[in-house]
Structure 1
Amino acid sequence: MRYLPLTDTDRSDMLATIGASSIDDLFVDVPEEARLKGPIEGLPLHASEMAVERHMRRLSKKNLAAADAPFFLGAGAYRHHVPASVDHIIQRGEFLTAYTPYQPEIAQGTLQMLFEFQTQVAKLYGCAVANASMYDGSTSCWEAVAMASRVTKRNRAVLSGALHPHYAEVVRTMAKFTGDEIADAPVAIQPAPDNDGLIARIDDRTSCVVVQYPDILGRIPDLAQIAEAAHEKGALLIAVNTEPVALGAIKSPGELGADIVVGEGQSIGVGLQFGGPYLGLFAVRDPKHVRQMPGRLCGETVDAEGKRGFVLTLSTREQHIRREKATSNICTNSGLCALAFNVHMTLLGEEGLRRLAAWNHSLACKAADRLAKVPGVTVLNDTFFNEFTIQVGRDARELVRKLADQGILAGVSLGRLYPQSGGLDDALLVAVTETTSEEDIEALAAALEGELA
């Protein structure tokens, strides 16, 4: 296929048609400081393919890969072991190249996979119905807020201060275009979540309360108490889960009264992969809310011969129906990642997930106990699954950089997640999974002892 570039006249005609004076007018919503003013300094305008490959290899050697060091990063992206069989199955041609199954008669395999994926997510979340995946956890969170507004006919969303700040920022950004009022609060650095403070912010105008479970500090809030308070005011409870492995050990959000459960599915079947792609999960506890769900829903039926078959039962994305009737305009559903989740979850089964969760929690307890013995370290949490917060009495960002120079990826500093907030600079979020060895834990503890001495 030939590349046919636009001429200056073509560009002028297109801009005139949409009423823009220049191409820069198309980027007015991008902050000025985030826009390039010209070519990137030091980057040549062109180079040979071999020169680019050599340059990229040199750059890659500066990385410290997750598998090459004691690894304690989390905060919504977790390193778990993904069996080789997952990658083998998702790379089969019939799955790897499949797209949206517009023609169900020739896409039965894809539809069956999505149906089974929905079943797994619904059971994991303790809900009646799950959709066929979404873009990622943060956009799923916003879609839940938008759905709550449609269901309750209200437009005030109350966010827990312990909701992941990136998720909260996505909600605030999207709400600018819908008129929803977002009532958020600063995160409280304390051993237990501030459930009472959150409940006090719920009023008769509230459409939903958004709570992370476990929260950004690793604590486990009492969803049942919050659900009761929300329902008394006619609001919905949205539970956000960024670590699905935790649900092999703690009660499901739906079981505790959450009306909409959303989250990130990356932990199961999908590697870290330099930050993407990810997998948004979305489920509702009450079947009557199904028609307000975003995305699409695969269903089971029988064909004219009475044989089992699968179809797209509901498709509420603008890709399928008129834009003004769509419940979502985020069309990507991360189907290949959903398949990876489906395969990995199938290999684990319920018993395997519970054992994996127990393994994660046991190692996290060992890490918390060991780090608590380091002079200058305080473990904040009363409760946690495989992630907890420690306070180190100094700037955690600087400490993380120093430990990285020693070949240890020590965790995520809360000062990095909350750069505008005071009082968080000495806090470090530490995640432990089945990929963490006891030698890794000892290496982290020893390094902290050396730096904090």
Structure 2
Amino acid sequence: MRYLPLTDIDRGAMLEKIGAPSIDALFDDVPAEHYLDGPIEGLPAHAGEMAVEKHMRRLSKQNLAAADAAFFCGAGAYRHHVPATVDHIIQRGEFLTAYTPYQPEIAQGTLQMLFEFQTQVARLYGGAIANASMYDGSTACWEAIVMAARLTKRHRILMSGGVHPHYVSVAQTMARFTPGHVEYDLPVPNANPGDDDIIARIDDETSCVVVQYPDILGRIPDLQKIADAAHEKGALLIVVNTEPVALGALEAPGNLGADIVVGEGQSIGVGLQFGGPYLGLFAITNPKHVRQMPGRLCGETVDADGKRGFVLTLSTREQHIRREKATSNICTNSGLCALAFSVHMTLLGEKGLRALAAENHRLACRAADRLAQVPGVKVMNDTFFNEFTLMLDTETRPLVRDLATKGVLAGVSLGRLFPDGDGRENGLLVTVTETNTDDDIEALATALEQAIGAEKAA
């Protein structure tokens, strides 16, 4: 039974207030081809519960799970081993059912966890202060952009071609509703990450420069060089990181001049999960900017008896007292995913994270060397962490689909990430983590040899 408390008169009054002719008009931005014009294909119109369960199980068997294939996909969502301890702890009732800690006296466990999470993120990113997480990496990136606009009073946004195109798309969408103007050029898949190109475009009107580290093609930009150029013009440097394991090997962005560091925390503790839910990480390097930081911040204090305690120190979200003066309208902090991240990071520790990063890089180098031996394959990166770009003698989108039927998930086609073409349709982004074996790498190399050979023979 549906419960809809609003009457037609109520809805009419609301539509009149916002100036919309109908409810459907609120969805005009959704492309017409994405509207359903009938029942969902493949689902029965009416069936009992057991029949539906059986039908859904049959459909699920059409999936190829990451654990059942030689898996080399990445591009912002990575397969890492998550210890069983993580799931055991986050399934505990006091964590699994916890809600927003509005009443600190009964939410000390949640607040302490978030306080420790903030500490871990700040240390990982080289920041002075981190918040208690956000929705995901892409929305954290946009929140950093609007924070930079508040601090600089400027609205020109430079996004490097190395930033994940989905993050760019989110920024472009949100900028339609703000004074912000996003400037972005598609990346050229070569060894040069384009540091000089982005630096040449910084001027006195630039609010921020957004750079990914490592970038979408696996390259490592020179953050200090870009930071110096941005600061000379009064702009801020925002660094995006989609693979936090990389920071077990690379210098923290905050130590290289970044003003705001954001990213996706999925790699640590969360798992792939069909694309979500994930969690956004957010840190700043200048404590003076804390009042402009979005989201919530947990702090440490002492109670009336002098005992250590935790509180919600800062929460400038729209549903709290700030309301229309809020720095953000993000209304959750992905708390359970943040807990999973914090538990996994605690299990690893600094030594474990460095060892995990080293193993990722070792296996990626092993894969790059082997794939470079395949006729018709060229490795484009001079430097990388666990992700690198290949250029093939053939279009990669159909090749990736064909290899998936043979139990090899070969990576992410650049033609999928950048559908506009211009030579990227032959690019393949390959990711190697500690979950890959030497047999997996050999399976990928052999599959590519056979597929490219067959393409040439045809």
Fold shared, TM-score > 0.5 on shorter chain: yes
Pairwise CA distance, 1:419: 0.8
2:250 equivalent in structure 1: 250
The Cα shift of 1:23 comes to 2.7
The aligned amino acid for 2:350 is E
Which residues in structure 2 correspond to 1:159-308 (within 5 Å)?
Answer: 159-308=159-308
Instruction: Return the offset for 1:114.
Output: 0.2
Q: Distance in 2 between matches of 1:229 and 1:46?
A: 63
- Asked if structure 1 preserves the Cα contact closer than 8 Å seen for 2:189 and 2:389, the reply is no
8 Å CA contact 2:15–2:23 kept in 1: the answer is no
CA distance in 2, matches of 1:50, 1:282: 44
Distance 1:12 1:34, change over 3 A: farther
Give the drift of 1:31. Answer: 2.4
CA distance in 2, matches of 1:275, 1:77: 7
Alignment of 1:381-396 (within 5 A): 381-396=381-396
1:13 Cα offset (Å): 4.0
Question: Residues 267 and 41 of structure 1: is their aligned pair in 2 closer, same or farther, counting only changes over 3 Å?
Answer: closer
Give per-residue Cα distances to partners, 1:201-228, cap 9 Å, x unaligned: 1110000000000000000000000000
Q: Which residue of 2 aligns with 1:25?
A: 25
Give the Cα–Cα distance (whole angstroms) in 2 for the partners of residues 41 and 249 of structure 1. 47
Please state how far the C-alpha of 1:12 moved relative to its aligned partner.
4.9
Alignment partners' CA distance in 2, 1:72 and 1:218: 13
Task: Give the distance between the partners of 1:247 and 1:402, measured in 2 at CA.
Answer: 34
Deviation at 1:52? 1.4
Runs of 4 or more off by more than 6 Å in structure 1? none
Inter-partner Cα distance in structure 1 for 2:245 and 2:442: 24
Task: Note the C-alpha offset of 1:323.
Answer: 2.5
In the alignment, which of 8, 12, 15 is matched to residue 11 of structure 1? Answer: 8
Q: Deviations over 1:213-253 (max 9, x none)?
A: 00000000000000000000000000000000000001000
Q: Encode CA deviations 1:369-419: one digit per residue, 9 max, x unaligned.
A: 000001110000001000000011111001101111111000000000111
Note if 1:436 corresponds to 2:436.
yes
Give the 3 Å change call, closer, same or farther, for CA 30–15 of structure 1 in structure 2.
Answer: farther
Amino acid at match of 2:8: R
Q: Which runs of 5+ in 1 are unaligned?
A: none
Q: Is the 8 A contact 1:296 1:316 kept in 2?
A: yes
Identity %: 74
The 2-side partners of 1:447 and 1:176 are apart by 44
Q: Cα offset for 1:34?
A: 2.2
Partner of residue 141, structure 2: 141
Residue 51 of structure 1 and its aligned partner are, at CA, apart by 1.8
Cα deviation 1:231-285 (Å, max 9, x = unaligned): 0000000000000000000100000000000000000000101111101000001
Determine the C-alpha separation between the residues in 2 that align with 1:3 and 1:419.
Answer: 41
Question: Does structure 2 retain, via aligned residues, the 8 Å contact 1:260–1:282?
Answer: yes
Query: How many pairs does the alignment contain?
Result: 450
CA offsets per residue over residues 265-318 of structure 1, 9 Å max, x none? 000000101111101000001101111000000000000100000001100111
Root-mean-square deviation (CA, aligned residues, Å) is 1.3
Structure 2 residue 106 is the aligned partner of structure 1 residue 117: no
Distance 1:203 1:34 in 2: 40
Q: Is the 8 A contact 1:192 1:383 kept in 2?
A: no
Deviation of the 1:5 alpha carbon: 4.8
Counterpart CA distance in 2 for 1:371 and 1:153 is: 48
2:340 is the alignment partner of 1:340: yes
What is the TM-score of this pair, normalised by structure 2?
A: 0.96
Using the alignment, how far apart are the partners of 1:4 and 1:68 within structure 2? 42
Cα distance between partner residues in 2 of 1:85 and 1:43: 37
State the one-letter code of the partner of 2:252: S
Unaligned runs of 5+ in 2: 454-458
> In structure 2, what is the Cα distance between the partners aligned to 1:268 and 1:162?
23
Within 5 A, what are the aligned runs for 1:272-421?
272-421=272-421
Conserved in 2, the CA contact under 8 Å of 1:292 and 1:327? Answer: yes
CA contact under 8 A between 1:238 and 1:261: conserved in structure 2?
yes
Instruction: Work out the CA distance in 2 between the residues paired with 1:169 and 1:412.
Output: 18
